Amino acid sequence: MNRPVTTLYVALFSLLLVPTSLLALGGLADYRPPAEPRVLDGSLAKSLERHYDEHFPLKQVGINLWAALEYLAFGEGRAGLVIGQDGWLYSDEEFDPVVDAQRQLRDNLALIRGVQRQLEERDIQLLLAIVPAKTRLYPEHTGAHQPSALQRSLYPRFHRAVRNAGIAAPDLLGPLQAAKSEAPMFLRTDTHWTPEGAEVAARALSEVVRSAVQLRGEPQEFVTEPLETRAHQGDLTRFLPLGPLFESLLPSADRLQLRQTHAAGGDGDALFAETDLPVALVGTSYSANPAWNFAGALRQHLQRDLANHAEEGGGPLVPMLKYLQSEELNNAPPQLVIWEFPERYLPMTSDLTDFDPQWLAALKDGGERQGLAAASH
């Protein structure tokens, strides 16, 4: 470059650098060093670097600009998101092929059978609530994106496998499809179902339970009341980091009517007054998050209280394995365990490092032998 252009370049760069540096220095006012800062091993430098990275003044601007470019120019978000039509967002877990899926399918099915075997030894019945994928229930909004062949076959394959193993797993897809013309069954911007979808699933499961199992204890009336209706930006919008600069580009928020279930004629504490609960619920955030009120809907339709051992963020296998080793199961075994299990998790790996490998191997081995015995019949 010739001298005038070089001079202009340096001047413009300085005009950008100087105010940015001053803003960054101002961010140091909020910096709190470690309780015992050490210079020689670099801990103080790492602490300062981490603070600067989190509070860099142009970081959020850059994130917003790049996200807006990807979204507007290519119709894409961050890895993990598939953008459909009409403001619908989907998890890419429901579309993409899974690495080494066949082996993982076999391992997870063996664990499921092993869980059933462990419960049967305690005279506890297992009911598997397989939650259909959002793409399966709402394929009309996926646009040009299509699930892989594995994902398309997953729901019937899952049902066939557990049926062959003698595990009860009612079809939830049919009732959800029948009800989706009356109310949304899944949230547009979230991976989860709506309270209406959770209620439809709970009613379908309860009908099966009532026809097959005589739950101990006297029937108890539970009442579900609507609470506030609020705007809900779903968990999938986190893969579109457009705010605060371009927040208006985000799909419109869902409308979520919260619900609360309580024992008729009693206060909220009455839900947990019983100690001998005939039903235990284990599962994922579909069951754990009170915003969907799945546990409450089950209480109402089963006319029984239940213990909720579902957890958010760990998939369906981890909370069930924890429950098998829990004092609650040993001290107060239920009559029925309802295991909520989203179909997309069947070919996925789970972090099982907190569990004894030998115990897991024995559980899988028992499940595999049970599966072979069921297949031979």
Quote the crossing angle between the two packed helices 101-121 and 149-164, to the nearest 10°: 30
pLDDT band at residue 271, thresholds of 50, 70 and 90? Answer: very low
The residue that leads in pLDDT, 52 or 239, is 239
If one counts every other C-beta atom within 10 angstroms of the C-beta of residue 261, the result is: 21
Integer Cα distance of 299 and 307 in angstroms: 10
211 is a catalytic site residue = no
Residue 57 has pLDDT above 60, yes or no: no
Give the pLDDT confidence score for residue 241 in this predicted structure: 85
Q: What are the Cα distances from residue 3, in Å, to 7, 10, 22, 273?
A: 6, 11, 28, 83
285 is a catalytic site residue = yes
Q: Taking the CA atoms of the chain, what radius of gyration do you get in angstroms? A: 26
Q: Which residue of the set 91, 107, 159, 190 is catalytic?
A: 190
> 């959800």: which residue's tokens?
176
Give the pLDDT confidence score for residue 372 in this predicted structure: 45
Q: Which residue of the set 192, 232, 301, 309 is catalytic?
A: 192
Q: How confident is the model over 9-18, as pLDDT tens digits? A: 667 766 655 6
Q: How confident is the model over 185-221, as pLDDT tens digits? A: 999 999 999 999 999 999 999 999 999 999 999 999 9
Question: Residue 3: phi, psi to the nearest 5?
Answer: -60, -45
Question: Residue 292: phi, psi to the nearest 5?
Answer: -90, -20
Q: How confident is the model over 42-55, as pLDDT tens digits? A: 665 666 566 656 65
Q: What is the pTM of this model?
A: 0.82
Sign of the CA dihedral running 103, 309, 284, 235:
negative
Q: Which residue of the set 107, 159, 206, 285 is catalytic?
A: 285
Which alpha helices (H) appear in the chain, and where do they start and end?
3-27, 43-55, 59-69, 101-121, 134-137, 149-164, 173-179, 195-212, 285-288, 294-302, 317-324, 327-331, 357-376
Residue 270 has pLDDT above 60, yes or no: no
Residue 257 has pLDDT above 80, yes or no: yes
Arithmetic mean of pLDDT, 268-297:
84
